[in-house]
């Protein structure tokens, strides 16, 4: 009986350490957006690691490049045929401020691992008293495992 309990415990424990992940890419004339993340399997699949870079390519922002991590993911869901993300970050110091929001909405292409959809970004920047607001919309592809 102890041996059966030990074997069952080992088999169930392996699922606790299993991870999945996601990556998304959008590159167009407005921006380059790369998102990657690691999630656990089970227990609502929280994002435990993430790396995102957003670079505006159109020259319309004061600060063109931004980096994000898992603490900046406000919402994440991978349910049914949908994979969606909301990433939000604000930073400020004495003279400068910026706030950036990225919204990703995708649906499965049918295989449960490939997703296509849209991105929306919004950035408000104030650098040395100069304020700029910038937004972008386009298409994005994601892979989820």
Burial class (CB in 10 A: 0-12, 13-18, 19+), 9: exposed
Give phi and psi for 123, each to the nearest 5.
-130, 130
pLDDT at 51 (0 to 100): 95
pTM of the complete model: 0.83
Residue range 74-96, pLDDT digits in tens: 998 888 899 999 999 999 888 88
Residue range 10-33, pLDDT digits in tens: 545 554 557 889 999 999 999 999
């Amino acid at each position: 009986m102890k041996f059966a309990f030990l074997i069952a415990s080992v088999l169930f424990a392996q699922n606790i350490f299993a991870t999945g992940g996601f990556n998304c890419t959008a590159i167009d004339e407005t921006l380059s957006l790369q998102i990657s993340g690691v999630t656990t399997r089970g227990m609502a699949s929280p994002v435990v690691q993430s790396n995102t870079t957003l670079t505006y390519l159109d020259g319309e922002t004061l600060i063109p490049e931004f980096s994000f991590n898992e603490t900046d993911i406000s919402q994440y869901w991978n349910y049914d045929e949908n994979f969606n993300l909301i990433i939000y970050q604000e930073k400020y110091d004495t003279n400068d401020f910026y706030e950036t929001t990225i919204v990703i909405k995708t649906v499965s292409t049918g295989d449960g691992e490939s997703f296509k959809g849209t991105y929306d970004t919004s950035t408000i920047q104030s650098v040395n008293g100069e304020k700029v607001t910038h937004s972008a919309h386009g298409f994005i592809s994601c892979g989820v495992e």
